[in-house]
Structure 1
Amino acid sequence: MKFHKEGYTSLALVILFIFVVNAIADYFDANQYVKWFLYILSAFLFLTIVQFFRSPRKLIALDDNIILCPADGKVVVIEETDENEYFKNKRLQVSIFMSPTNVHVNRNPMSGVVSYFKYHPGKFLVAWHPKSSTDNERTTVVVKNANGVEVLFRQIAGALARRIVWYVKEGDTVQQGEEFGFIKFGSRVDLFLPIGTKVDVNIGDKVVGGKTVIARF
């Protein structure tokens, strides 16, 4: 387990806040109840940041015949839908909701070349809102594998998630299971798969990024 690089600034701000608040309490000689409250609050804030930005080390067994889960969380959508940004036809959508307690590293679901990338500014509707996939701040990534199959996946900001980070661009060669981005403080990732793809998960399943098999070709 390691601490993710995206959390360094947040951790530094929390440590600074803890130091300043406790120094003020000592300077004004606050009573023991106030000091213990601040100690508990400080520990809670510190542990919250550390757990949120944790980044487990993973050994990924590469397999071109499967779609790996791109994020930790819970499966909230499995349905056929129109994908109107890139494919402009029907696709099989699988959506994973990430709560603030989940690991927020986003991983490539398959190996290949990034054939399309776009960042969309937008709203911050709650992640389970029906229009969050099209109206919220988001990124769209399409990867084409060695067999010519393309899979689209989106990072979608939510009501709490106000920063999407990505590490890919068009033309990049990516490897299954490697990090392609990070979303701060809870949101969701959508996958758009070819119609007929065999899905290995069900709505409500808890899934693990880089480990759970979402679907098979």
Structure 2
Amino acid sequence: MASNGSRRPRIGITTYLEPATWGIWQRESAILPRVYLDAVAAAGGVPLLLPPVGTDPTVLELLDGLIVAGGCDVDPSSYAAEPHPETVDTRPGRDEHERVLIQAALDRDLPLLAICRGLQMLNVTLGGTLHQHLPEIVANDEHRPAAAVFATTEVKVEPDSLAGRILGDRATGSCYHHQALDVVAPGLRVTARAGDGTVEAAEVDGHAFALGVQWHPEENPEDLRLFTALIRSAS
């Protein structure tokens, strides 16, 4: 981890390549919703964007913490599975980029917060698998009720955990996903679940701060506890 002295902690956030439009231009761009940047800044950190191009794990030497952002489906080839018909719009290059950064962060014990797809990538990186279409498992669409509509998820948190120390024994979050953890990777401990049993948080054993959540804490600017805890650990 970089030595930060009295400066604000530098928090890297993964981005992704998508077609984007601005002014008269329409070009492929590295993008990230602004809410991630605002959450990090409001919690006391300096957000730095990490595009999935020219991946180099030594960039983490410049950082004090890492956030792996949400986004598209994880390619099932990442965990040796055949694609489900509902698994669409995958980005294998992004998967590999984030896998390299996640592993490098764990090797360096860099504070790590993995959000939604980020939690899924954390599990896959460590050898776990995913449910590719959650409605077939829980028999409802409550985790992704409609296109571009976030659901509200109530989760029960294990008190003897990092998530429990930050959030208490229950939490409410905004979620939007149709994939979730299936086989949990060795060394990854489930520390929160939704009422239907869906894994909502997991932590890597032996690390001071290596936490993934299935919901989107950046969507609630009134509750920055996860970001504040990351910044505190990064300090």
TM > 0.5: no
Q: Tell me the TM-score normalised to structure 1 length.
A: 0.30
Higher strand share: 1
Higher helix share: 2
**Structure of greater Rg:** 1
Higher relative contact order (CA 8 A, sep 6+): 1
